[in-house]
Chains A and B, each alone.
Chain A
Amino acid sequence: MRQTRLRKYRSQYRWFRFVSKIALIWYLFVFSATYFTSGTSADFFYDARATSEVSSGIWLGDYRLKFTENGTENVYLCGESVEIGRALKNVGPDDMAEDGTYYVYYSADNGSPQNHGVEVYEGTFNALKSKEEIRLQFHAKNIGTYAFHVQDTDGDKWSAKIHVKENKSGNKCHNTNMTTEEISVENEKSDINESEEKATANAKKDDSDDENAKKVEQIEQTPSETENETREELREQEPTNEGSSQGKESNLNEEAEMNEQNDDNVE
């Protein structure tokens, strides 16, 4: 009787026992999942890189600008304008960090553009490396005195004055790198050469009349030889013109005149 009842209950409550087993397995599973595992962060992060510039000051470098040409320059105005310029060199140990600016100052009279002049032009030049030299230029249109002005880490730098003069007496139109004293001495020299040239030309005319008959025959035979002789004679007559480009020009002119005269004689 007792065994029968036990068997009866066992079969009747088998569901309860089954559910209890499932629940026990569940609890064991949850326990093991929590007991045996621990977290590892495997850190996840995103690294965004932003490129930006923070300027805490500008280092210009130790560059020194210097106008390398000393002395006042005289330039004669030919046509509407004349190009004037000054050499500028970076004599400092560092390169320039950025392009530079130069100014041209002008004074109508012979006074100093630095003190009495007005700014007539503003230009830029490429950053100079250490020991690099460039030439600053400006087309001057007015008679007067000009000067170039730049700034460096030391402060203001002024070039020597450039006098732009009116070309009254047919002076050279290109620039001359001479001081005022040198220019005046050169002008005196050229005046003397011109008077000498005139004198020798007159003397030659007299002599040439006597020798013309002889030369006609020679020219007819060997014109090139005659020309060479004529050149030698001219050189002997005008030793003072040697070394002067202006003097050489006048010699060549006279040669041309002489040739024309000879041609006339031949005819």
Chain B
Amino acid sequence: MKIFFKWLNRFVTAVLFVLLIGLGFLVFSSKLSGGEPNVFGYQLKTVLSGSMEPEFKTGSVIAVKPIDGEERQQLKVGDVITFMESDDKLITHRIIEVKETGAGIVYTTKGDNNNAPDSNPVLAENVVAVYSGFTIPYLGYISEFSQSKNGIIALLIVPGFLLIGYSGITIWRAFHELEKEKKKAEVEMPKTS
């Protein structure tokens, strides 16, 4: 049991170090490059609705590769793209038609689970990224929840208080142990003297 705990403790320590170093590197590199945080050149997007099921489920996190310039003009039918529907809204849907117009290339998009194409065609300039095929299911639920008020309370504040409480108890026990030893020493001192 002791050996198991010893190895578990080492494993947890290793994970902690990897996380700390990795996150530190990623945050630092993201801040240096500017723009949206990315992981090794991929942006992680939380899927908030089921329009693209079964390609990716609601609540999953998908990795998309940001594109710009020429790449935006060379997308083809079947590609899953993330585009700006408005200034503060990103949508990830599949291209079902590519049209060349006077204003440039325009993509008609549709969610796999939708029964009709999107009402507005997407200008190539508004395409932000292309879906890479990498998905982590359910992680998006945690991400979304952690950004909500209840999520902050449940995932950050409550564990924090628990940790503080546990550390308080540990400290109190430590002091108790110290006092105990002190009294024991005082009792032993007259005897020796």
Contact = CB atoms under 8 A, between A and B. Distances in A.
B111 A42 contact: yes
Contacts of B156: 27, 30
Interface stretch (A12-20, A224-232, A237-245): A12-20
Interface in A19-67: 19-47, 49
Contacts, number: 130
A40 B93 CA distance: 10
A41 B48 contact: yes
By size class, the interface of chain B is 35 or more
A36 B85 contact: no
A40 B46 contact: yes
B50 A34 contact: no
Contacts of A26: 155, 159
A34 B9 CA distance: 27
Do most interface residues of chain A lie in helix, strand or loop, or is the interface mixed? helix
A13 B170 contact: yes
B140 A38 contact: no
Interface in B127-182: 139-140, 142-144, 146-147, 155-156, 159, 163, 166-167, 170, 174, 177
Contacts of B155: 26, 30
Contacts of B101: none
B17 to A, nearest CB: 10
Contact of A41 (B39, B85, B166): B85
Contacts of A14: 5, 9
A44 B46 CA distance: 14
Contacts of A20: 163, 167
A29 B93 CA distance: 28
B1 interface: no
Interface in B13-59: 13, 15-16, 19-20, 23, 26-27, 36-39, 43-52, 56
B16 A42 contact: no
A13 B12 contact: no
B115 A42 contact: no
A64 to B, nearest CB: 45
B116 A47 contact: yes
Nearest to A19: B166
A114 B91 CA distance: 73
Contact of B61 (A28, A37, A43): A37
Interface of A: 9, 12-14, 16-47, 49
24 contacts: A16-B167, A17-B9, A19-B163, A23-B163, A25-B15, A28-B23, A33-B142, A36-B37, A36-B44, A37-B45, A37-B139, A38-B90, A39-B144, A40-B46, A40-B62, A40-B91, A41-B89, A41-B90, A42-B48, A42-B111, A45-B51, A46-B115, A47-B114, A47-B116
Listed from nearest, the 6 A-B pairs whose CB atoms lie closest are A47-B116, A44-B51, A44-B49, A40-B45, A33-B143, A37-B44
